[in-house]
Chain A
Amino acid sequence: MSSDLRSSPPPSRLGRVGSAAAGLSSVGSVLLGRSARAVSKLRGSGGSAFPGLVVEKIDPHFLARTLRRLPRGVIVVSGTNGKTTTTKMVVELLRGQGLKVFTNRSGSNFTRGVVASIVGEVRLNGRLDADIAVLELDEAHAVHFVKAVRPDHSLLLNVMRDQLDRFGEIDTTAGMLRAIAQHTDQGVVLNREDPRVRAIAHSLENQRVDYFGLSESLLSHFPSDDDFHAGPAAAADRPDADVVLEELTEGGGRFTLDGETITTTLTVNGAYNTFNAAAALAVVRQALGETVDSAALIASLAKVSPAFGRGESLTVQGRSLDLVLVKNPSGFRLGLSSFASSGVATMIAINDNYADGRDMSWLWDVEFSSLAEEGVRMISGVRAYDMALRLKYDDVDFDAVEPDLQAALTRFLDDNPGQPARIFCTYTAMLALRKQLSAYTEVEAF
């Protein structure tokens, strides 16, 4: 962004400008948003949603008007787990098809974050220089968003226990995803293996519905929350899927796309990310229809790099260090089953800040026995002792408990020199650890 806008009025005056300017043009909205952005950068607040807030208050139709002008429309990605990685995959797949793609990359996955991203990229005439938008939307805010901007396609990944302290119940979250689907104009892509997501199809009338799914043999690798307590559901009523992940291969997967089998490696780690790839393929195929170039699709897929903290592998002091974000039981279970623990030094860091979820109950819905053989070298985070108790009751040994993340990471690296390392961490613990790791290695900015 250019710096000539930094001589803007302070935020206290922006409020007054806003209330007096009901019928602003897009040009005005863009300038105003950019001013707010410049101001918030100058103040060092770093909050990427602030400029969005200013524009949204003044010109609530800005978002809809700008996105509606895109020739290939808007794709929305939502669900509990895997939004960020899958959104990134969809973006890369579309770029590989030669399209200009707008996305909310700042990680601020709320409506205002989207507005803020647009303000940063839009031309002064209010047009985005893009063919299509791919937006990652948090479930709760997505409903508000789709009422303002009806997407052309939506990709709904899963409904799992996550931040129940925010939404109350899983069925409430499922209702939010259903609302997204109902506000989608053309097509919806659903996870066939998640019963709550699959059921959304029953409440749709006009939209095309496609599915992505797993082969029978892989179902047990991806247990849902229900399966954890009751075993996998009968497969009888599962519809045909457009894209199926047939098999996990070394560093990738074998997929069936509408009957055609392809095998590819992936740059992102973890079985769940391979399943996310199936989701991304399915929505791109739906959005582009027959014009899709399959060979280019596969080539793009192999190159997608991990999103911030999702299946990310760093090199620290000459050894590999994997950061695995865990935020709910199913994600933690998948994280544990996706990576072998033998020969790897493991650390677990559990915080309970608002963004992590305050309730620690979820740790008791994860089984940790796969760590029993190697044990855990370090437990850290605000709720380190909750985690330590959890491991104790699963007979998993650990060497040390140090709630202070900085001290814990230093000791973990020092005590396990040269050994491949893996850190399972909640969201805010990951933010802190990445900041510290940037002293040792190149860490992609967030």
Chain B
Amino acid sequence: MTGAAKPIHVLQLYPRDMNIYGDFGNALVLTRRLQWRGYEPILHSYDPEDEFPEEVDLLIGGGGQDSGQDKIQQDLLRLGDRLHELTERNTPMLMICGLYQLFGHSFRTREGREIKGIGVLDLHTEGTDTRLIGNVVAESGQFGEILGYENHSGQTYLGEGVQPLARVTKGEGNNARDSHEGARYKNVLGSYLHGSLLPKNPAIADFLIATAVQNRYGEDVQPAIEPAGSAQPIDELTRQARMHATKRPR
């Protein structure tokens, strides 16, 4: 790799409070895949009351407990304008579970309390007494088969302004009623899937990277240089991991 790698700024939203299901794996996968393509990933963390970095090319966020969501909600509302602006500038983002919910208009708890979201995604969520838990397989036109693991009691319903990210073929996804899993508006992707999501769904990781690179440098992403080391290449390991995952029970 040359010394003049081009930087790409990746921002993790609220890693301190919204980190419960291994969503750090998404940050790691983006970091490595950027490096393998000759870019220099610069990983920023943003927690409540931190200074928002000036340069942001790609944002990711994870799931948390109810207590974690409560801790970050006010701060997230303050960031709302900025996140809307980044969205309209086609910045790629991936929001999982708890932050996916708060990127919608609102979350109504079981007790009827209304938690306001930032409304980047046209959707709303309702708290329920049932947890949707288990392996998920979903089909997406752009990313092929998406594999992951869901664990949520909030159920999400999409409005007209977003597309579903995928349609569930195993598991529940957004809610127990329709077959939608996740949502998309411009380059903002929301999903309930942990696993972590990106290791076994590199098509999504590479889309986020290609979009960030195109936005910042106006160029197609450079091809990956396979890392030296273990006997099997990453693509083969990924294929095998996906194959075994699809065979597992719910």
Q: Could you tell me if B149 and A388 are in contact, using CB atoms closer than 8 angstroms?
A: no
Q: Which residues of chain B (14-36) have a CB below 8 Å from chain A?
A: 15-16, 19-25, 28-29, 32
Cα distance A351–B2 in the bound complex, in angstroms: 40
B224 on interface, CB distance cutoff 8 Å: no
Q: Which residues of chain A (225-261) have a CB below 8 Å from chain B?
A: 229-230
Q: A433 → chain B, closest Cβ, in Å?
A: 19
A168 on interface, CB distance cutoff 8 Å: yes
Q: Considering the complex, give the chain B residue whose CB is closest to the CB of A390.
A: B199
In the complex with contacts A171-B67, A364-B28, A388-B15 CB distance below 8 A: no
In the complex with contacts A170-B65, A229-B15, A361-B195 CB distance below 8 A: yes
Cα distance A352–B250 in the bound complex, in angstroms: 11
In the complex with contacts A165-B151, A385-B244, A395-B229, A359-B21 CB distance below 8 A: yes
A262 on interface, CB distance cutoff 8 Å: no
The CB with the most chain B CB atoms within 10 A, among A168, A352, A359, is that of A359
Complex interface bits, A371-383 against B, C-beta within 8 A gives 1, otherwise 0: 0000000000011
Q: Could you tell me if A389 and B241 are in contact, using CB atoms closer than 8 angstroms?
A: yes
Q: Could you tell me if A229 and B240 are in contact, using CB atoms closer than 8 angstroms?
A: no
Q: Which residues of chain B (66-83) have a CB below 8 Å from chain A?
A: 66-67
A272 on interface, CB distance cutoff 8 Å: no
Q: Could you tell me if B229 and A359 are in contact, using CB atoms closer than 8 angstroms?
A: no
Complex interface: chain B residues within 8 A of A358 (CB): 134-135, 149, 248-249
In the complex with contacts A169-B65, A170-B65, A389-B237 CB distance below 8 A: yes
Q: Could you tell me if A393 and B15 are in contact, using CB atoms closer than 8 angstroms?
A: no
Q: Could you tell me if B25 and A364 are in contact, using CB atoms closer than 8 angstroms?
A: yes
Q: Could you tell me if A359 and B231 are in contact, using CB atoms closer than 8 angstroms?
A: no
Cα distance A366–B15 in the bound complex, in angstroms: 15
Cα distance A168–B67 in the bound complex, in angstroms: 13
Complex interface: chain B residues within 8 A of A329 (CB): 22
A392 on interface, CB distance cutoff 8 Å: yes
Complex interface bits, A333-360 against B, C-beta within 8 A gives 1, otherwise 0: 0000000000000000000100000111
Q: Could you tell me if B248 and A352 are in contact, using CB atoms closer than 8 angstroms?
A: yes
Q: Considering the complex, give the chain B residue whose CB is closest to the CB of A362.
A: B22
Cα distance A164–B64 in the bound complex, in angstroms: 12
Q: Considering the complex, give the chain A residue whose CB is closest to the CB of B29.
A: A393
In the complex with contacts A165-B133, A388-B232, A361-B244 CB distance below 8 A: no
Cα distance A389–B233 in the bound complex, in angstroms: 10
In the complex with contacts A352-B248, A361-B21, A386-B241, A165-B65 CB distance below 8 A: no
Complex interface: chain B residues within 8 A of A403 (CB): 244
A-B contact pairs, 22 of them (CB 8 A): A165-B133, A165-B134, A168-B131, A168-B153, A170-B20, A352-B248, A358-B248, A360-B195, A363-B25, A364-B24, A364-B25, A364-B28, A364-B196, A386-B241, A388-B237, A390-B25, A392-B237, A393-B29, A394-B28, A397-B229, A397-B230, A398-B230
18 other A-B residue contacts (CB within 8 Å) besides A168-B131, A363-B25, A389-B234: A169-B20, A171-B66, A171-B67, A359-B149, A364-B22, A364-B28, A365-B22, A383-B241, A383-B245, A388-B232, A389-B199, A393-B25, A393-B28, A393-B199, A395-B227, A397-B229, A397-B230, A399-B230
